[in-house]
Amino acid sequence: MEITLNSGYKMPIVGLGVWRMEKEGIRDLVINSIKIGYRHLDCAADYKNEAEVGEALTEAFKEGLVKREDLFVTTKLWNSDHGHVIEACKDSLKKLQLDYLDLYLVHFPVATRHTGVGTTDSALGDDGVLDIDTTISLETTWHDMEKLVSMGLKHGICVTAHTPLGGATANAEWFGTVSCLDDPALKEVAEKYKKTVAQVVLRWGIQRNTVVIPKTSKPERLEENFKVFDFELTKEDMEVIKSMDRKYRTNQPAKFWGIDLYA
């Protein structure tokens, strides 16, 4: 299952995220994911494992498991490289052992300065730096993000849901304990479809036409996360899951950088 971008390129709706993947396990992870059917890899310079991903991809190509044109490979420009994008992109290509990328993202595309409590909407200043209005509530931000998803779909702009299963225990210091996998209501929905909670959550993201990029280092979970195309959630169940909003933001830079990018 794919999403057609406004460029005409097709992006697989389920991808494999490799953030915080141990280097020694990358080879098996990538090879096994390709054998299962994954055709989308989500990488980044900051993940510090592009070289290992590249070695695995080269092996997969040589063994005939997949052709380069059948894969959608994403990587990202890190904050330290905004001043030399071309060089950073070439470095990523070299490490990934690829001639081209399907998608190159700015990892954190926000230039900000914190100006204290504001009274107006956030806007770019004369110097091109974003002034943050700290009076904007998280709930307001959430509603605007939902509007952003809808606008993107209308104009052929794909939205990718990173960390689609919430924060795993291993990432609690950054994401908090917000994993949805033990939620009683989600367990009830999963039992209805004879699926795991993870599969239901990923399916919810897919049916919203957002790309999901779950990560896992466990072979059995790798396969489980890809088995989400043989069932469909009802409109009622989609709304039930949407209503579980906890108004909690994961991946909060204020926790690990001390900078409140999202006010």
Q: Which amino acid is residue 150, in one-letter code?
A: S
Q: Report the binding-site residues for substrate.
A: 107
Q: Could you list the active site residues?
A: 47
199 conformational bin, left if phi > 0, alpha if psi -120 to 50, beta if neither: alpha
Which residues does residue 2 pair with via DSSP β-bridges, in sequence order? 12
CB 70: neighbour CB atoms within 10 A? Answer: 10
* Six-digit token string for 49: 């494992």
45 three-state secondary structure: helix
Q: Report the binding-site residues.
A: 107
What's phi and psi for 48, nearest 5 deg? 60, 30
d(C-alpha 141, C-alpha 2), whole Å: 28
Which residue do the tokens 């052709």 mark? 67
> What letters, b where the CB count within 10 A reaches 16 and e where it falls short, cover 41-68?
bbbbbbbebbebbbbbbeebbeeeebee
What's phi and psi for 42, nearest 5 deg? -110, 110
What's phi and psi for 110, nearest 5 deg? -135, 120
d(C-alpha 201, C-alpha 181), whole Å: 9
139 three-state secondary structure: helix
Contact 228, 199 (CB under 8 A): yes
